[in-house]
A and B are shown apart, each in its own frame.
Chain A
Amino acid sequence: MSGTKPRDDMPHSSTPPRWARSRSDYQLIGGAGERAAAEQLVNASWYKCPVPRPMMKTLMQREDTRAARDTVLWYALIVLLGALFAYGWHAGWRYGALLLAYLAYTAVYSGAADSRWHECSHGTAFKTRWMNTWLYQCASFQVLRRPTKWRWSHARHHTDTLVTGRDPEVAAPVPIDVIGMLLNLLGLKSGPKELWAVLCNALGRIAPEEKTFVPEMEWPKMVREARYWLLAYAVIAACAWAMGSVLPLLLLGPVPGMAGAWAYTFFGLTQHAGLPENVLDHRLNCRTVHMNPVFRFLYWNMNYHVEHHMFPMVPYHALPLLHDAVAHDCAPAYASTWHAYAEILPALARQIADPQYYVKRSLPGSAEI
């Protein structure tokens, strides 16, 4: 567990070191972590856009109303789309129509659960603590992320964002594994891995890499949660057996959790994919992307990703205002999701063979890195 004090006296590194790259660098044990520490990249001081304290206090304020409204709407959509799929299933819809209905359901069940998991992991969705906790547990189950492990891995991600060998949540490690990324559009690699981890945790076993960022006093909680999840899976399976139908398995639990991975991957890749690792400026290794209201509802404003990383205590509903306050000091936001992907896809393609490649962003008043 890192417990060192961040270095206030070091300049914010904006040029990534030219290291030889391999995928083993990303291992938290035996990877590039020591090299990163030697370069003063671990628990370092990151650039922050200046925001007057009175404005920041206003932006940080919490409330329950908006998240409560959004949560009711979200679950209403899940129920509606689930009912539509179940109707189509029983009505004998053609496979194409059923598939579309299922993709729509999983996009909302699991795809949108990712952003709820994320916001609640920060405790910023609601002002009332138990509401954050409740939604966090539900969203974690839906998106197939063990609550305690991922809370701590996300804390590490914020401490050492895209620091190779320290950040457990690098979505597109280089050199790019195309097959792996394609499989993960349906959670076919990440899903079984997480389910295996649930089983191990339920047996009292915690993975060595996870022990590097989850403190020992939290391990019993991981074990408890895993056992509750296995119980939940057993209940879902029992319902399916009792009903003589696979529908409960398709609508709840790990299957829709994995099937909706394409939706949160679609949004999530815009965050950091193709941008430089091992720099200490979120304006360089994060993207802010302007999105339409539907996408922003599903993604809960995580498209304002530069602002979120720089000021994670600002709740999702205040991120547009924060963006307005700091936009002049950041690289230009992307005009749309499609503009972002026009950059991401060629960058990922290039990183298949050239892991040193990264997208260089222009900051105001400075040269490109």
Chain B
Amino acid sequence: MQPWIEVCALDAIEDEDVMRFDHAGHSYAIYRYDEKVYASDGLCTHEHVHLCDGLVMEYVIECPKHNGRFDIRDGRALGAPVCVNLKTYPARVQDGIVQIQAAV
């Protein structure tokens, strides 16, 4: 099982927002909505644009370049121009700190 990596304080991410987190050469997107946190690969599967500049609307992240949408809970691509799902990672809040089980 992958170790839990500390990302940031929960307060560092606004509700219904996204933050970029880079770790060990990999970029992640960390989301906060409805007092829960989620994590995915940080690049859109369409043209590999950073999702941290995108818009979170409830459980949906919209890519800032081409408006492709994913469900932040399971990474499902929700329609063109995104066709390939986002890889997601377990995320939790422990003592006010956001943690994820990173890829490496």
The tally of residues in B whose CB lies under 8 Å from a CB in A reads 22
Contacts A122-B67, A159-B66, A313-B67; A57 near B17 (Cβ below 8 A): yes
Any A CB within 8 A of the CB of B73:
no
Given the complex, which residues of B lie within 8 Å of A60, measured CB to CB?
55
The tally of residues in A whose CB lies under 8 Å from a CB in B reads 28
**In the complex the two chains form, what is the Cα distance from A43 to B55 in whole Å?**
21
Given the complex, which residues of B lie within 8 Å of A312, measured CB to CB?
64-67
Residue in chain A with minimal CB distance to B78? A129
Chain B positions 33-87 with a Cβ under 8 Å from a chain A Cβ? 43, 46-49, 53-55, 57, 62-67, 69, 79-81, 83
Given the complex, which residues of B lie within 8 Å of A151, measured CB to CB?
80-81
Asked if residues B55 and A57 are in contact (CB atoms below 8 Å), the reply is: yes
Asked if residues B83 and A127 are in contact (CB atoms below 8 Å), the reply is: no
Q: Which of B48, B53, B69 contacts A6 (CB 8 A)?
A: B48
Given the complex, which residues of A lie within 8 Å of B63, measured CB to CB?
313
Chain A binding surface SS class: loop
One digit per residue, 1 when the CB lies within 8 angstroms of any chain B CB and 0 when it does not, for chain A 152-169 equals 100100110000000000
Any B CB within 8 A of the CB of A4:
yes
Given the complex, which residues of A lie within 8 Å of B67, measured CB to CB?
122-124, 312-313
**In the complex the two chains form, what is the Cα distance from A127 to B57 in whole Å?**
9
One digit per residue, 1 when the CB lies within 8 angstroms of any chain B CB and 0 when it does not, for chain A 87-128 equals 000000000000000000000000000000000001110010
**In the complex the two chains form, what is the Cα distance from A61 to B57 in whole Å?**
8
Residue in chain B with minimal CB distance to A152? B81
Given the complex, which residues of B lie within 8 Å of A61, measured CB to CB?
55
Asked if residues A215 and B83 are in contact (CB atoms below 8 Å), the reply is: yes
Contacts A6-B48, A158-B65, A158-B66; A313 near B17 (Cβ below 8 A): no
Any B CB within 8 A of the CB of A208:
no
Apart from A124-B67, A152-B80, A313-B62, what are 12 other A-B pairs with CB-CB below 8 Å? A5-B43, A6-B48, A61-B55, A62-B57, A123-B67, A129-B79, A148-B80, A152-B81, A155-B46, A155-B47, A159-B47, A312-B65
Please give the residue numbers on chain A whose beta carbons come within 8 Å of chain B beta carbons, in ascending order: 2-6, 43, 56-57, 60-62, 122-124, 127, 129, 148, 151-152, 155, 158-159, 215, 217-218, 311-313
The 25 sampled A-B contact pairs (Cβ below 8 Å) are: A3-B47, A4-B48, A6-B48, A43-B48, A57-B14, A60-B55, A62-B57, A122-B67, A123-B62, A123-B69, A148-B80, A155-B66, A155-B81, A158-B65, A159-B66, A215-B83, A218-B80, A218-B83, A311-B64, A312-B65, A312-B66, A313-B54, A313-B55, A313-B62, A313-B67
